[in-house]
């Protein structure tokens, strides 16, 4: 039975590692940390594999673990002022004008959003998840996803301009 569980987890890992790393990169803005966070999330999934594989949505469970790891990482950074200052200093704003979409640095704008808004916007628009799947991944209600996505998109519109946000959202806001 252990061999079967290991095989199932291996298949799960192969199927979802890249997606989790991409999600971690978009949520943190740190390419170097993305693989580590995805690996940590998958290690946590492995430790709970019996429970995860019995879940209705194992991938959503893994995304939830990843979101919690990212949230913890961000909270730690906030507590340490020096790290926060270094983090923001490494990412200067590249936007000359919010009305010029060609010059806009989308990752910088996403970094300016609070975690929950950023997570909702990224999952809904970059990953094209439904409101329900986003809610499952973040452990929040569908109503929270709707409100946080709306507020996040409005904040991005202030930072990037309406035209750029319409392009990012693929015409749907």
Q: What percentage of residues in the chain have a pLDDT greater than 90?
A: 40
Cβ atoms of 52 and 66 closer than 8 Å: no
Whole-angstrom distance, CA of residue 63 vs CA of residue 16: 9
Residue 29 confidence (pLDDT): 86
Cβ atoms of 9 and 46 closer than 8 Å: yes
DSSP state of 101: G
104-113 pLDDT tens trace: 457 788 889 9
pTM over 0.85: no
What sign results for the dihedral spanned by CA atoms 163, 169, 170, 172? Answer: negative
Confidence of residue 97 (pLDDT cuts 50, 70, 90): very low
Residue 170 confidence (pLDDT): 64
């Amino acid at each position: 039975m252990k061999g079967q569980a290991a095989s199932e987890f291996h298949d799960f890992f192969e199927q979802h590692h890249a997606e989790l790393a991409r999600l971690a990169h978009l949520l943190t803005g740190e390419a170097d940390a993305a693989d580590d966070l995805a690996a940590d999330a998958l290690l946590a999934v492995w430790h709970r594999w019996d429970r995860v594989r019995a879940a209705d949505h194992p991938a959503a469970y893994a995304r939830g673990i990843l979101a919690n790891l990212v949230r913890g990482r961000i909270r730690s950074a906030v507590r340490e002022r020096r790290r926060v200052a270094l983090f923001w200093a490494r990412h200067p704003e590249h936007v000359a004008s919010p009305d010029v979409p060609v010059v806009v640095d989308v990752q910088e704008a996403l970094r300016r959003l609070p975690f929950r808004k950023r997570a909702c916007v990224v999952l809904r628009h970059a990953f094209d998840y439904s409101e329900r799947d986003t809610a499952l991944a973040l452990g929040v209600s569908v109503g929270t996803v709707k409100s946080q996505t709306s507020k996040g998109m409005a904040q991005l519109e202030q930072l990037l301009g309406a035209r750029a946000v319409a392009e990012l959202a693929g015409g749907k806001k």
